[in-house]
Chains A and B, each alone.
Chain A
Amino acid sequence: MRNLCVTFEDTSKRGGKIFAVKDVSFDVKEGEILSIAGESGSGKTTVARTIAALLPPTSGSVIFRGIDITKKKKKELRAYRREVQMIFQDPYESLNPRWDVSTTIGTHIRYLTKEKDKKAIQDRIDQLLNEVGLKPDLVRHRLPHQLSGGERQRVNIARALSSNPRMLLGDEPITMLDASQRLSILRLLMKLKRERNLTILLITHDLASAKVASDRTIIMYKGEIVESGPTDVVLQNPKHDYTRLILSSMPEMPA
């Protein structure tokens, strides 16, 4: 079992300390889907960005396979970036509007793996597109605006998979998608977890996403972890008032 330990504090300088994230510690088990759920301001995105090495913590460590990546310099993180990839909330923002799907994924492959052979790259692109549920012949030459939100997010996921990462961080990957596309993207992530033994950290504000997709769930509130455990346990037997409050506020369909 390879565990990731995440411990940090974060402060903002404004005449006093404001903790975006305060004393957060948790492990991520290899091959699991872990949801970090909370409302805006809970600190969940800050946690994700720190793990993705996009943001240095004020204190604490992020230990990935025995190495504390917060103590590494940019150059030394290259290997880490191959192993840990991130998907962002806005599927459109992460795509160059002038690059077609092939170019988007191909460029990423070339950058991260130094692969040079054109045919090998093209085959790899097709393989990745198939894996994420897109038909290569139909989408290869499409530009982002010719794709739906769900399709764009699949392209982002395909791109992220191109370096065969061990872990995927999804920062609210379905929030900006139309309601009918959300479930199928979660199913895709679940499929990838099964087939690749991929570890997935899913940041979300929607507990229904956590319920459907994740093995374990962490609930954050105002920078701190208030509850964590196996998803079914946390959501069926919440111990913390805040968790109960969110659960009771969720809109429900009639029986």
Chain B
Amino acid sequence: MSSSPSSSTPLLNISNLSVEYAFEGMTVKAVNNVSLTIPSQGYTLGVVGESGSGKTTLGMSIMRAIERPGRISSGKIEFQGRDVLRMSEGELKKYRWSDVSIVFQSAMNSLNPVKTVSSPIIEILRDHTKISRSEAKARAISLLQEMQVDPRRAKAYPHEFSGGMKQRVVIALALALSPKLLIADEPTSALDVVVQKQILKMLRNEVKERNLSLIFITHEIPLLVDLVDNIAVMKSGEVVEMGPLNKVLREPLHPYTQMLLGTLLSMKTPKESVFAPASEPVKSVTRAPNSCIYSDNCAYVFDRCREEDPVLKEIEPGRWVACHKHN
């Protein structure tokens, strides 16, 4: 993102981040040289990508939760100027949940089945702050209420809750220590549309009320509408386009973004459409190293694309594209 006029430290700064996975004697770059910035509180970003795009790995990296066989091979992650990759265990404990939190799609299934739903919230409050048990209980209940969970159900067990309710508990947990940044990775994918709409509305309110910064990771672009102000599109570990959401949706610059928007299935999709032929390009098993990540399928491909992977460039204020067509 373009640097803010004042020289204040950005909330989150990711520079040239690469994450590798060792796989059967090879190394695969799940995230390849990604740079992006969350400049301030209240800044919301949607990260869009398909399977293998690296979007989940990116979210996990920010939490420093990459485990073997993966590793952060290069780059920097700075939160309010502090080097996350160099934090000690003690500093990490303060960082996670208090500065940055994360919610996953499957989080609702990792609630301890033998503990009540308010237990993890109480525990995290007691673990990180000096409040008494009764205060923690009260705070847990008010958090659940904030997420529209009936406080009378605070002593229920996870299995008594529907998917949507469990996800609310998980979000309450993520917000318990009032983090400045929330990462949500496909938090509603396992929920039906009616519940999904409620959860997203609740999330939107929390972002407003708390002036929360949000990184919302998804493969479904329509979810970002009315939720985030900015969008970053990822493919094969790289960010290919970035900018204000409404501008990118109205006028996508990268051919891959154009393809994603053109093949979108929604109630507005006409029965006949020129963008979706009955056949599709075959997945590339090998792509020339150092070529553009979209060179195999791009309609505008030319020689340079096959030899040089384009770098993300700010081609107009706030609008970033990684494409030789725009150089």
Query: With an 8 A cutoff between CB atoms, is B36 at the interface?
Result: no
Question: Known: A151-B282, A187-B277. Contact between A209 and B222, CB under 8 A?
Answer: no
Contacts of B270 in A (CB 8 A): 212
Q: Which of B266, B268, B275, B278 is packed against the most chain A CB atoms within 10 Å?
A: B278
Query: With an 8 A cutoff between CB atoms, is A237 at the interface?
Result: no
Q: How far is the CA of A235 from the CA of B268 in the complex (A)?
A: 12
Residue of B nearest to A176 (CB): B51
Q: Are B282 and A179 in contact (CB under 8 A)?
A: no
Count of CB-CB pairs between chains A and B under 8 Å:
114
Question: Known: A187-B277, A188-B278, A208-B267. Contact between A245 and B249, CB under 8 A?
Answer: no
Q: How far is the CA of A40 from the CA of B285 in the complex (A)?
A: 35
Question: Known: A179-B50, A179-B260, A184-B280. Contact between A246 and B222, CB under 8 A?
Answer: no
Count of B interface residues, CB-CB < 8 Å: 37
Contacts of A254 in B (CB 8 A): 225, 246, 249
Residue of A nearest to B51 (CB): A178
Q: Are A208 and B276 in contact (CB under 8 A)?
A: no
- If over half of B's interface residues share one DSSP class (helix, strand or loop), that class is named, otherwise mixed; here it is loop
Residue of A nearest to B49 (CB): A178
Contact of A181 among B222, B223, B280 (CB under 8 A): B280
Query: With an 8 A cutoff between CB atoms, is A207 at the interface?
Result: yes
Contacts of A235 in B (CB 8 A): 267
Question: Known: A251-B225, A252-B266. Contact between A212 and B271, CB under 8 A?
Answer: yes
7 A-B pairs closest in CB distance: A133-B279, A251-B222, A39-B192, A178-B50, A148-B283, A183-B276, A249-B197
The contact sample of 20 A-B pairs, CB cut-off 8 A, is: A133-B278, A135-B282, A151-B282, A179-B220, A179-B260, A183-B269, A183-B273, A184-B263, A184-B277, A186-B265, A188-B278, A212-B265, A212-B270, A212-B271, A245-B194, A249-B196, A251-B196, A251-B200, A252-B222, A253-B225
B residues at A contact (CB < 8 Å): 50-51, 192-194, 196-197, 200, 219-223, 225, 246, 249, 259-260, 263-271, 273, 275-280, 282-283, 285
